Amino acid sequence: MNTTQTYVETIAKLIVEFPVRGVWITPNSPGTRIPSHGTTSFGEAYAIDLVMVKEDGKSRKPYRSNVLRYVLMGVPLEDFYGWGQTVYSPINGQVLAVVNDIEERSNVNPFTDLQYMRKATKAYMNSSRKPEIVAGNYVLMKLNENQYALLAHLVRDSIKVVPGQMVERNQPIGQLGHSGNSTMPHLHMQFMNNPDFSIAQGIPFVFSQYEVAENGRWKTLHNSIPTTKDKVRKS
């Protein structure tokens, strides 16, 4: 049994909706490794990152410019296919917290963004700053007393829900962005057993339905999770 099969069949019990539309890659996913982000702290053990690629699905490059320009000069947020894409609620639940006023870095560059990440992570771990220094603009939702959802790195002023509001699956909640601890526009999503990031433990989950590219065709999967090698699609 491979890593993904083990995760899906014996670990993950929570079933959620795919939170974005279009064609995506998942460079960090519990379908490939656990912990997916290299740590079990902050409820991140089973977190997933979603990065949009071109609709034709032939490339894994998430931006329109050439690679050399991205590395040497950086590219604007608008150059990324995923920036500004609608993010949908993966669950039925209640909004607990919203941060909606964190400014994004307008130029995306791997070196400057990694430098920011190191500083932001150190500051957060030293408890000198609030969670938004790493999560950016985010929505924190409650499924029940033991399950909570976090959707992070959203576009400033794009969040459409407020604390206390009840949301339904597939309801628009904001736009995918580059705020906080982010190396490029993407959606970071995780489920955890406590709303307090400092003590939360991650909760494994699967998506109810999506498509995966196999041999030039799209195959529909149910109650599964992508790997870091997959290209996936949700209409």
Residue 24 near residue 53 (C-beta atoms within 8 A): yes
Mean pLDDT, range 207-229, rounded to an integer: 95
Looking at 5-102, which runs of residues are DSSP E strands?
14-16, 22-25, 48-52, 75-76, 86-88, 93-99
pLDDT tens readout for residues 118-169: 888 887 777 656 888 899 999 999 999 999 999 999 999 999 999 999 999 9
The per-residue pLDDT for 11 is 86
Q: Which alpha helices (DSSP H) does the chain contain, by range?
A: 3-6, 67-72, 110-125, 132-135
157: Cβ contacts below 8 Å, ≥ 6 apart: 100, 101
Instruction: Say whether pLDDT at 29 is over 60.
Output: yes
Q: What is the CATH number of the domain that holds 31?
A: 2.70.70.10
Mean pLDDT, range 38-58, rounded to an integer: 91
Closest CA to 96 of 158, 148, 164: 164
Q: How many domains does the chain have?
A: 1
The per-residue pLDDT for 130 is 83
The per-residue pLDDT for 6 is 85
The per-residue pLDDT for 3 is 76
What amino acid is encoded at 221 in this protein? L
The per-residue pLDDT for 127 is 66
Give the domain extent around 97.
Answer: 3-234
Q: Considering the entire predicted model, what is its pTM?
A: 0.94
Mean pLDDT, range 186-203, rounded to an integer: 95
